[in-house]
Amino acid sequence: MIDPKEFIITRKRKKYKFAKFANARNCFEFDEWLAMRRQNDNESISICAGPGPAQTGVTRGQSAPGLARRKVDVVEVGAGTGLFVVELAARYPETVFAAVDVKADRLQKGAYEALERNLANVYFIRARADQVDELFEPHSLQGIWLTFSDPFPKKRSAGRRLTHSTYLRKYADLLCLRPGLKQDSGRGGLYIKHDNLEFFQWSLEQLVAQKWRIDELSFDLHESELSNDYKILTSYEQRWLEEGRITQFVQALPPRADR
């Protein structure tokens, strides 16, 4: 059990949240996730149904009865609290999800929600977005979600946008779509939700320039007839809709899908 005092963070509440992340069995630091992948490619790993280590005595990297290791199918990059992925995981128990974000104090919220709901098919990984291609094997993912990522409005910061060509190439290398894949399950290609129209239009331009195929598109998602899975609200989206903002949405398939 990690003590909050071990974290060099001045705000006590943030210390507490980082400690919660460190103590949750479904949460992983970047290096910890890589080590687990190397050591347990053919073994079981543990994600317990309860939030406290005292309940089972199982730690990360050990086997948990009935929980076989499965490769991740769908990733949300820049997941924030991870509650969006938690809802997807609840709807699709046979699919394995991962929420990736650099802020552990946010991710722990979704992690404990998943534990409370006994969800064993979702992981939470603290890592930078540019490390996503190190976290997962090439051609292994069925879906990648970007939900309300930072638009970095200044032109000089365009390279940090998660829809920049650098990132799109990473996503294309990670995705490998199966024929006949259900499109309403959040498991097919790249999915983008955003409320900033300028950023969204810029992202569409990047997709087209990189030869991605636009499969589904809406400039007002919640007034569209698209899948209800797409309309699962993130923590911020709920607030923004109440403020009258509009959610734009696109699903795109990587260049290799057309070959």
What positions carry a catalytic annotation? Answer: 150
Q: How many CB atoms lie within 10 A of CB 145?
A: 23
Report the C-alpha gap between 94 and 200 in whole angstroms.
31
DSSP secondary structure code for residue 7 in this structure: S
CB under 8 Å to 185, separation ≥6 — which residues? Answer: 91, 92, 95, 229
Report the C-alpha gap between 99 and 122 in whole angstroms.
8
Q: CA dihedral defined by 89, 92, 93, 98, rounded to 10 degrees?
A: -40
Q: Which helix (H) or strand (E) holds 87?
A: helix 83-91
> CA angle, corner 75, sides to 74 and 76, nearest 5?
130
Q: How far is CA 75 from CA 99, 123, 124, 146, 237, in A?
A: 6, 9, 10, 9, 19
